Structure 1
Amino acid sequence: MPHTSLDRVLVVIPAWNEEDALPGVLDEVHAVCAAERSLSATDVVVVSDGSRDATAAVARAKGVPVLDLPINLGVGGAMRAGFKYALRSGYDAVVQLDADGQHDPRAIPELLAAAREHDADVVIGARFAGAGSYEARGPRRAAMRVLAGVLSRVTATRLTDTTSGFKLAGPRALPLFASEYPAEYLGDTVESLVIAARAGLVVRQVPVSMRERQGGRPSHSPLRAAVFLGRAVLALGIALSRPTNRTARARFHAAAEVKG
């Protein structure tokens, strides 16, 4: 069954202490939405994930609604809050966009186009799919290849970048992710794809270019990034060993039928 609509899109920006980069990101998103006819019904919400700086204040100063979490839950927990907000507010799709400026909002229409063309429920903006010059080397790249190889089999499609945080979730994915999106460490990337595949969702990717952080400080040094990827491989093994949540899957299909 094709998507009934991808007209109402919500850009969810999880942010933890991003007061420096966030204003520029919001300006870019608003400019892209104003220029692209396909994004005319697109809104933005910032999820301040227990930030201790002025992240929430700078978002509100730009006229953007804020979900202000009292503690830091990590990207997975912040995105689950965003999915719940989107589902309750009647949006058709959610685009996850980083608050540090590395994701180019001009690629959002490409994510939407891929969702429509392939009737896809989850579309990943992939760094290693032919666009841009982003590279990962050494153990980090090896870990990424392992993740991509295994998850390509799980999702029955070729994936090259399974740890990208630049993603679209469509109408059939929203009810599932609003209730089951993993809040655990690395769940927002690796385990969310396993959950999507086991629920019968269609996963695809589109090539995108990544940029340098536009402000603030990176959360991972090269060494910590390598450790991060190693733990991602471990998280994948744990995700695959967990039994399928049949109750969640049934609830997802029921909600999807009502929405469709």
Structure 2
Amino acid sequence: MSYSVLIVIPCYNEAETIASTLFELKEVLNNTSELKYEILVVNDCSTDNSLDIIKQAKVNYIDLPINLGIGGTVQTGYLYAQKNNFDIAVQFDGDGQHDPVYISKIVQPIIERKANVVIGSRFLNKEGFQSSFLRRLGIRYFSLLNNILVKTKILDTTSGFRALDSKAIEEVCKYYPENYPEPEVIVLFVNNKFKLLEVPVLMRARTGGVSSISGLKALFYMFKVSIGSLFLYIRLKIGQKNDNSF
């Protein structure tokens, strides 16, 4: 069976990195013949010249008319994947942190039907860029929170380098967290009894642009994601009880 894979790249003001990211990505994918790949950049109403660079790269893109944030941007890519019947969707950052040579590694467990969702983890082998000390503490906190809520231990809960099969794509097209979705959506996946798997990858430091999570925003991020995860967990459990009452 030949699998079709959509690479979804959310982009907001990544003019410093998106050209090199797309160039490297196309170089790697051109040398990978066993799967059918397509690149889709979702431009989240960037205010710099990211869109011009994307057009020059000659890849498929969606230019959002308003800024949706990371959740809406990524979900747009998943909706495209569902509408066009892709077997697998891979979320891939446009800031240079993700190495495209690992794409085949994170889609392989899905092809082998060992997982519905595969997360590229920088912490399994503890190699490559490990993020800052404070960020690592935050990631460990989210790992603990997920473990408490859904009894699933994911080390790199904030990793945006992940692959979804068609079942998981269908689910996130119905609902996807609005802001900072990566830790929260794990609750959704586990509740739907999807099999999650982490595979080791090497990540790199951001080569340009500015992270949206810094300073006091980091504390707000932790609070918002914690509340979002908790309320999603409660909503899903209530929904399950209502379904079982019939």
Which bin holds the TM-score, normalised by the shorter protein? Answer: 0.7 to 0.9
Aligned mate of 2:114, from 101, 116, 119: 119
1:142 to 2:137 alignment: yes
Number of aligned residues: 241
> Which stretch shows the higher mean deviation, 97-106 or 233-242?
233-242
> Which stretch shows the higher mean deviation, 151-160 or 88-97?
151-160
Aligned to 1:100: 95
| TM superposition shift of 1:167 | 0.8
Measure the CA separation in 2 of the matches of 1:62 and 1:227: 36
Aligned to 2:74: 79
Aligned mate of 1:219, from 212, 216, 220: 212
| TM superposition shift of 1:133 | 3.7
What do the CA deviations read for 1:79-124 (whole angstroms, capped 9, x no partner)? 1111111111111111000110111111101101222345211111
Alignment RMSD? 2.4
Contact 1:25 1:101 in 2 (8 A): yes
1:185 to 2:185 alignment: no
What do the CA deviations read for 1:198-225 (whole angstroms, capped 9, x no partner)? 1121111111111121223333335544
Measure the CA separation in 2 of the matches of 1:205 and 1:245: 29
Measure the CA separation in 1 of the matches of 2:19 and 2:66: 22
SS of 2:137's equivalent in the other structure is helix
Contact 1:100 1:213 in 2 (8 A): yes
> Which stretch shows the higher mean deviation, 50-59 or 80-89?
50-59
Aligned to 1:167: 162
1:11 to 2:7 alignment: yes
Aligned to 2:18: 22
Measure the CA separation in 2 of the matches of 1:42 and 1:172: 19
Aligned to 1:34: 30
* Structure 1 gaps, min length 5: 251-260
SS of 1:185's equivalent in the other structure is coil
SS of 2:166's equivalent in the other structure is coil
1:130 to 2:125 alignment: yes
SS of 1:243's equivalent in the other structure is helix
Contact 1:131 1:208 in 2 (8 A): no
Contact 1:6 1:93 in 2 (8 A): no
Letter in 1 for 2:233: L
Letter in 2 for 1:24: S
What TM-score, normalized by structure 2, do the two folds share? 0.87
